[in-house]
Amino acid sequence: MNALSSIAYKEGFSIDITATIAEAMACMLSNENGSAILLENNIPISIITESKILSILEENMDLSLPVAPLAHSPVIVTYHNRPIESAFDLVVRHNIRRLVLIDRDKSYQGVVLQEDLFHFFEEDVYKVDLKVANLLTQERSIISLEKKEISIRLLC
């Protein structure tokens, strides 16, 4: 099993809690995901998203102001060493777009995006399909027995 950290973005998604609105915008532009995770002493505190930034721009706010008072969305965290499969159900059931990874000290370890989880499982399904296709194309006979046939043979 692969750990979540194996598909995580370790850089480009976090900024310090003291960052400005402009710095948050630059982070979002850099990671091309429309989000920035605010860290205080390397611990994830909150997240600000592109939709909040757009509302700020409509209000003509000074972009040199701190972003922290505007970042009200809590981060959803899990341990970085958990299996990828454990996160899939959580992300799908609750429509979580970003899962923030932490270690035992609650220190930021990266972020896993919903689309990356989907992509990971899509690749796994493709690998299984390839294995099945490989079996079927090697001109091997597949023998199947019904339960009745097995029990009859055992009795004889």
Mean pLDDT of 13-36: 96
pLDDT tens, position by position, 64-91: 999 999 998 889 999 999 988 888 778 8
Residue 130: exposed, middle, or buried by beta-carbon count in 10 A (0-12, 13-18, 19+)? Answer: exposed
pLDDT at 116 over 60: yes
In a domain, 155, yes or no: no
In a domain, 47, yes or no: yes
pLDDT value, residue 95: 83
| Overall domain count for the chain | 1
Provide the Cα torsion 87, 92, 96, 102; round to 10°. Answer: 0
- Residue 28 domain boundaries: 4-122
CATH number at residue 41: 3.10.580.10
Are residues 50 and 58 in contact, defined by beta-carbon separation less than 8 angstroms? no
In a domain, 43, yes or no: yes
Mean pLDDT of 130-139: 51
In a domain, 135, yes or no: no
pLDDT value, residue 64: 96
pLDDT tens, position by position, 140-152: 555 666 666 555 4
152 versus 116: the higher-pLDDT residue is 116
Are residues 31 and 13 in contact, defined by beta-carbon separation less than 8 angstroms? yes
What integer best gives the mean pLDDT of the chain?
83
Mean pLDDT of 109-134: 68
**Residue 60 has what DSSP assignment?**
T
Strand order in the sheet with 14-16: 14-16, 35-40, 43-49
Residue whose pair of structure tokens reads 């002493």 in the numeric block: 41
In a domain, 145, yes or no: no
